[in-house]
Each structure stands twice: as C-alpha cells, then as structure tokens.
Amino acid sequence: MKQTECTTILVGKNATIDGSTMIARSEDGGRTIIPERFDVVMPADQPKHYEAVISHQKIDDADLLDNPMRYTSAPDASGKNGIWAAAGINSDNVAMTATETITTNARIQGIDPLLTEGGLGEEDFVTLTLPYIHSPKEGVERVGYLLEKYGTYEMNGMAFSDKDEIWYLETVGGHHWIARRIPDDAYVVAPNRLNIDEFDFESEDFMSSSDLKNLIEEYQLNPDQDGYNMRHIFGSATIKDAHYNNPRAWYVHKYFDPEFKGQPGDQDQPFITYAKKKISIEDIKFIESSHYQDTPFDAYGDMGTPEQKKTFRPIGINRNFETHILQVRNDVPAEIAGVQWLAFGPNTFNSMVPFYTNITTTPASFQTGPKFDLNKIFWLNKLAAQLGDTNFRVYGALEEDFEQKSLAQCHKIQHETDKEVAGLSGSELEAKLNEANQKMADTVYNNTVELLGNMVNEGHGLMTLKYDLLD
C-alpha cells in the first residue's frame, strides 16, 4: 500500500494573514479507499521497539530515544500496513508532514539505488521523528540520520515547522538527502516530483548529506553550466510530470499571482515563490480542493472539451483521503499555538476543522474504523463527495454554503476558546481544549449530515428513474 499522489503547500510566517507558519498536504491514494483517523499519541504509547511492517526494517532501540513527547497524528485506520502517521504537532509545537512522493532519475539510481530490502518509508518517518524533535532543523537532522543509517526504498519529501521556521527535505537515492529553509515571506507548492531547485552548499539555509557535493562532482551529475539545481541533478522532467505534476503548481501560482507567466506543463516552475497577498487557511483549503476552476481543464466546468477536462491531474481529487494544515500561531500563548486543521475524504465536499493539539484525546467521529460507518466523518464525507460528483453544478453550490458555514462556526469556537482558556494550564487547560475540539467536530459532523439532506432534497427531481403523467 502506498499514498502516492499528494500535494504539499508551505507558507512562511511573513506570508500568512496572521503571522503563523502553515505546512499543508493532501494525503492521497490509489483506487482502494484508505480510511484515515485522528489520534493523539502519549509518551507511554510511543513504541519502545520498532519494526516496519512493509520493509521489516528493525530500528535499534538506542534510536528510539527514551524521552518521547506527546504528538498528534493522522494514521491509517486499519494499521495492517503500518502506522502511516502522516502529520502532527508535538508538545513543543514542532510540526511535521510526511511524505510527498517524489521523482528521481537513472543517474542517481545507478550510484545510490533505492533499497530492495529493508529501509524506511512513508510508513515510518513521522513515528520515528516527530516525538523526538524540538525544532524544524532538528527534524531535518533526525531524518537525515535515519536515512544515512537505515536507507529508504522510495523517494519522498517532507516538511517541518515551528512558529518561526519551515524546512523542506527531499530524499535522494537510497541514503542521501537535501533540505532547504523556506524564506519567511515565501510560499511553496510541491507536487509529486523532486521540487528543490537552486541549492547553495555554503548557506546555512541549506542542508544535505555530508558527501553530496563530492558525489555530484565525482559522478558528473550536474547538467548546468553554473550553480546547483537539484531538480535538474536528481529529479525528472518527463511527459508525466508535464501532465501529472507541473499543472498543479501552475494553478497554485496563477491563484496567488494572476500575472504569473507560464504554461501548465512547464518543467522549471519555481520552488520558492511569492504571493501578491497574505495567505489564509481558506486559501490553502481552496487550493487543496481545486480542480482547475475557470480553466478548460476543470472536470466539472463547461469551458473545455471532454479531452481537455482529462488532460491534467487536479489537486482536489476523489483520492483525497486526508488533508491537513499544520498551523503554529505567533499571536497566542504557546499552550494553544499548535492547531492541526484536518479534513477527511475528497476535498470538494468536506470542511477543515481546527483541532488544538495540546490535548489528551480526539473526538469519536474522527476516530475512523476501517469499515463503512456513517457515525464517522471520514465515511460521511466520502458519501457526500460521491453523491455530489453526480451533478456538481447542482450540488457544488450547496457545498460552498456548507463549507463557509462550517468554517465560520469553527472560527467562532476557536476565538471564544482562545479567550476562555487564558490563564489556564496543565490538565485544566487540556480538558478545555478537548472540549473545544469535540464541539467543533460535532458542529462539522452535524453540518455534513445537513448537507447530505439538502443534496437528497435537491437531487430527488433529477433522478433518471422517474415517470410523470405530465411529462
């Protein structure tokens, strides 16, 4: 099992509307539905011994440090293929999302091939990293250590943040890696390709495995006349990229900068980019839900031909199973700064919920099980999306109203809670935040049930199987 088709968005603190850092990713899969849940992992529950389910790689107990922190996660509900914790925020307000599946090329694979036995992958990285790190840079160092010691069998990108910094790391071959600090006033969109471009080995804003520069020189891997472009050196520029990956970045750039020059298939769209406005949670949710609206490539639109509507892979897709925005705020006390915005199912028919992460439990409706169960928001959202897909022109307007209503109500609960918990600490504070999370989860669950009812009412007269003597 593999989550292979994600889209990552990173926004520095000076590029957001409220001065927070935001790292986001839609966790997408294949044709098989992969139910996701929301958990909080207490230090006592962190594994004392670890063996990967997929690769059977065992981790030395000494590398499972004896002082893990509490952290949130969004693991696969079944657990049969491992944990796949996906994303979370720990008790030090350090966030991590992992992983974005990325591309490679034959040149590096001929030097440092991906492992065919053992190694770590998306299944493992959050569980082995997030409970042990106290800064984004420590996250890079921790993953770099694990990659160099144990190796990997797949190419992945991942991000780390706190209230001040965001770092993005990509694996290179079986044991090498690169990372870059995202400028505070910039944003990044990273689809399923190797994304880091310009790289400066002399700058403190860049990190890599220690022998990487020598490896590039020894094996003559750099195709450029000057400088180092890691996408050119280690990545790909294929026809698949032009249809599957690059158009997603193009659409995001056009959204944030209507004057952005370029075409959907362009191979060299920039990694570090700058928006014309401050970026909000709502902007990121729109992007993660997008399907090329107002272009000929929108599967739900009426501007393009049937062929054009199938040309490019959208960000919002039926294979969205879990989407998160990990926000670390700068305008509130540290005890309430971490917020894991979370939505399950296809993003065209769901709403984000801003869960506080200084908690001891999660709402029951977000504790998904592997079997279809309409008491769980994951399955309710899947049902809404599949019904909505039958006539987006009719149901899309209902979804917009539902999402605006849900986000407004969650914002209100969050504003009220931020004020109510002032001066609280310890278990008393955690209890209040658990209560607020439950209230927001209940609100969005009830709104989703209401949305389904409205869809049924609107769709009743649109069914093909009907007969009326007046027809």
Q: For the chain, how far is it from start to end, CA to CA, in angstroms?
A: 50
The predicted pLDDT at position 469 comes to 78
Q: What is the pLDDT of residue 467?
A: 85
Q: What is the pLDDT of residues 207-239, one digit of tens each?
A: 999 999 999 999 999 999 999 999 999 999 999
Provide the mean pLDDT of the chain. 97
- pLDDT of amino acid 288: 98
The predicted pLDDT at position 4 comes to 59
- 416-429 tens-digit pLDDT: 999 999 999 999 99
Determine how β-strand 338-344 pairs with β-strand 353-356. antiparallel
Instruction: Phi first, then psi: give them for residue 36, nearest 5 degrees.
Output: -120, 155
Residue 129 belongs to a domain: yes
pLDDT tens string 3-35: 457 999 999 999 999 999 999 999 999 889 999
In a domain, 387, yes or no: no
List pLDDT tens digits, range 79-101. Answer: 999 999 999 999 999 999 999 99
Task: Specify the 3-state DSSP secondary structure of 287.
Answer: helix
Helix (H, G, I), strand (E, B) or coil at 427: helix
Find out whether the peptide bond into 99 is cis, omega within 30 degrees of 0. yes
Q: Which residue type occupies 12? A: G
CA distances from 220 to 198, 205, 215, 470 (A): 17, 25, 8, 77
Residue 199 pLDDT: 98
Asked whether residue 456 is domain-assigned, the answer is no
Amino acid at 9: I
Overall number of domains in the chain: 1
Residue 399 within any structural domain of the chain: no
Asked if residue 429 belongs to a domain, the reply is: no
What is residue 329's predicted lDDT score, i.e. its pLDDT? 98
What's the confidence (pLDDT) of residue 184? 98
- Whole-number Å distance between alpha carbons of 397 and 399: 5
- Say how far apart CA 385 and CA 453 lie, in whole Å: 13
pLDDT band at 471 (very low <50, low <70, confident <90, very high): low
Distance between CA 155 and CA 105 in Å, rounded?
11
Q: Tell me whether residue 132 is exposed, middle or buried, using C-beta atoms within 10 angstroms of its C-beta: 0 to 12, 13 to 18, 19 or more.
A: buried
Tell me, what's the pLDDT at 67? 94
Angle between helices 392-420 and 377-388 (to 10 degrees): 150
Q: Which of 281, 357, 359 is nearest to 323 (CA)?
A: 281
CA distances to 232, 241, 269, 275 from 237, rounded to whole Å, are 8, 6, 11, 25
Give the range of the structural domain holding residue 141, as residue numbers without chain letter. Answer: 7-370
Q: How confident is the model at residue 470 (pLDDT cuts 50, 70, 90)?
A: confident
The pLDDT of residue 20: 98
**Position 2 pLDDT exceeds 60:** no
Q: Is residue 438, in this structure, part of any structural domain at all?
A: no
| 443 closest CA partner among 412, 471, 406 | 406
Q: Establish if 94 belongs to a structural domain.
A: yes
Helix (H, G, I), strand (E, B), or coil: what is residue 108? helix
The pLDDT tens digits of the residues spanning 427-463 come to 999 999 999 999 999 999 999 999 999 999 999 999 9
Q: What is the pLDDT of residues 256-312, one digit of tens each?
A: 999 998 999 999 999 999 999 999 999 999 999 999 999 999 999 999 999 999 999
Distance CA 458, CA 96 (A): 41
Instruction: Indicate the pLDDT class of residue 466, thresholds 50, 70 and 90.
Output: confident
Place 151 in a pLDDT band, splitting at 50, 70 and 90: very high
pLDDT for the residue 1: 46
Q: What is the per-residue pLDDT for 5?
A: 78
Token pair, residue 113, equals 């091939």
Question: Per residue in 159-188, pLDDT tens?
Answer: 999 999 999 999 999 999 999 999 999 999
357-395 pLDDT tens trace: 999 999 999 999 999 999 999 999 999 999 999 999 999
In a domain, 236, yes or no: yes
Catalytic residue ranges = 6
Cβ pair 33, 77 in contact under 8 A: no
pLDDT tens-digit profile of 128-139?
999 999 999 999
Which CATH number characterizes residue 324's domain? Answer: 3.60.60.10
